[in-house]
Amino acid sequence: MEAWENNYRQRGALWQGTNSGIPSFSLGTRVLEVGCGNGKTLSTLCRSGCDATGIDIAASALRLARVTVPTAHLVQADVRSLPFCNATFDAVIAVHITGALRETDRYRAAAEYWRVLVPGGTLFFREFTVSDFRCGKGRPTEKNSFLRGDGVMTHYFTTPEVSSLFSEEKWRGDIQTNRWEMRVRGTRYPREVLSALFRKNIQKDGC
């Protein structure tokens, strides 16, 4: 938490530009974005008429988001223990947040995504893969997890790992690999993410 607080406090809006690949939702869809940061994705959701809620562990991020997206519901919370009843949301967006957690906490977060979704609800997931050029940079903390100089940990996923995290018992959906190159001062660096649109298997659950 302290690392994210410091990053937003010192650097301001970390996430800017346009959103890419985020699903479109119909008017009034109840969407939760976990790790909403300074509100980049939330602003897109609100413009499309979603009933958007964003949570972040960093108060400094939420202060920025309140300016960027004044119409969104914002809550300071931990993704491992979401402060919402079962089946509260139609959709959850988890982009580059699950990979900031250790292995046991990644499973806790996945269970929370499932819990707060309505039966048949949608989860959009995106994280970097082990083929991304940044994998291996920093101090190792767990297998394929590295701590950078800014104090933020990133885990780099494999497809089987994502399949294990979102098992067929609770989810259905396909995992896709997206690869591109980033050019810096004439040098090309490979970037790669795994993206998935999962649906919660229809089961009875209550608050």
Q: Which pLDDT score is estimated for 148? A: 84
Would you call 205 exposed, middle or buried from its count of C-beta atoms within 10 A (0-12, 13-18, 19+)? middle
Instruction: Tell me the domains of the chain and their CATH numbers.
Output: 2-9+25-200 (3.40.50.150)
* Residue in this structure with the two tokens 């993704």, named with its chain if needed: 79
pLDDT, tens digit, for every residue of 124-173?
999 999 999 999 999 999 999 999 877 889 999 999 999 999 999 999 99
Give the whole-angstrom CA distance, residue 161 versus residue 157: 6
Q: Is 199 exposed, middle or buried (0-12, 13-18, 19+ CB in 10 A)?
A: middle
pLDDT at position 20 is 61
Q: Report the pLDDT value the prediction gives residue 113, as an integer from 0 to 100.
A: 98
Residues 6 or more apart from 86 whose CB is under 8 A from it? 115, 116, 205, 206, 207
Q: How many other C-beta atoms lie within 10 A of the C-beta of residue 39?
A: 27
pTM confidence score? 0.90
Reading the block at residue 116, the tokens are: 């707060």
Can you tell me whether residue 39 is helix, strand or coil?
coil
Q: Does the structure show a pLDDT above 50 at 5?
A: yes
